[in-house]
Amino acid sequence: MGQSSFLGHANGWCALLGVGNLRSRNGHDLLVHGESMNKEEVLDVALKLVFLVAIVWLTSSVIASATVGKTHGNSLGVPMYQENPMTYKAGSVSVAGNIAEGLVLRIQPLGTYELFTEDILICGHPAELFGGKTNPLVLTYRTKASRMIQSIGCHELIHVDSLKPKESLGK
């Protein structure tokens, strides 16, 4: 970029901002019109420069902003969790209620006193998961409610295991 091109750009910006007198090092006027500036004019030019920089910054930030694309799963293609999505309850299980769309299971957890029970609403009627199993049982169900039954969240029962008595562990 030659000196005349640079001076042309500088004079154009100075004229746009209303700068009166721009001098080179050897004292020649770079702008033909204008006298020296007073304090009000300097303040006016400074405010115009700040405004111009703010406009350029905002425009460039809008142009430069990018949206985040689709998040990619892991390379294995299987779900991965940071927290376990399942809940496990071990204890004596009985049916406390049977509704059209679900089943209320009452669990007396192992290691608690006999009057302590917990009720869990299970989605559907998963009788096949209980086939041939005796108490105490271990229920595995999704912690997050799968859907609502009569404004109460129901859980999807995943698996039911029967615990072996202590006597049969050594055999």
Strands (E), the chain: 86-98, 102-109, 118-123, 137-142, 147-149, 152-154, 157-162
The more confidently predicted of residues 35 and 163 is: 163
Instruction: Report yes or no on 147 lying in a domain.
Output: yes
pLDDT in tens, 87-121: 999 999 988 788 888 999 999 999 899 899 999 99
Q: Note whether 60 and 95 are same-domain residues.
A: no
Q: Is the pLDDT of residue 1 over 50?
A: no
Q: Note whether 111 and 153 are same-domain residues.
A: yes
Q: Note whether 154 and 90 are same-domain residues.
A: yes
125 vs 104: CA distance, rounded Å? 10
* Mean pLDDT value across residues 24-42: 61
Q: Note whether 95 and 60 are same-domain residues.
A: no
Q: Note whether 109 and 140 are same-domain residues.
A: yes
Q: Is the pLDDT of residue 42 over 50?
A: yes
Q: Among the listed ranges 26-30, 50-54, 88-92, 127-131, which one has the minimum average pLDDT value?
A: 26-30
What pLDDT sits at residue 82?
80
pLDDT in tens, 50-79: 999 999 888 887 777 655 556 666 777 777
Q: Note whether 95 and 129 are same-domain residues.
A: yes
The more confidently predicted of residues 162 and 29 is: 162
Identify the residue whose tokens are 């004229």.
15
Share of the chain above pLDDT 90, in %: 29
Task: Grade residue 122 by pLDDT with cuts at 50, 70 and 90.
Answer: very high
As beta bridge partners, residue 70 has none
Q: Note whether 158 and 110 are same-domain residues.
A: yes
Number of domains in the chain: 2
Instruction: Report yes or no on 79 lying in a domain.
Output: no
Q: Note whether 119 and 52 are same-domain residues.
A: no
Instruction: Report yes or no on 76 lying in a domain.
Output: no
What pLDDT sits at residue 7?
46
The more confidently predicted of residues 4 and 148 is: 148
Q: Note whether 105 and 143 are same-domain residues.
A: yes
Q: Is the pLDDT of residue 150 over 60?
A: yes
Instruction: Report yes or no on 69 lying in a domain.
Output: no
152 vs 126: CA distance, rounded Å? 18
For all residues of the chain together, what is the average pLDDT?
78
What pLDDT sits at residue 61?
76
Which domain range does residue 46 map to?
3-64
Instruction: Report yes or no on 80 lying in a domain.
Output: no
Q: Note whether 96 and 151 are same-domain residues.
A: yes
Reported as half-sphere exposure (CB side, CA atoms, 13 A), residue 129 has a value of 18
Q: Note whether 101 and 142 are same-domain residues.
A: yes
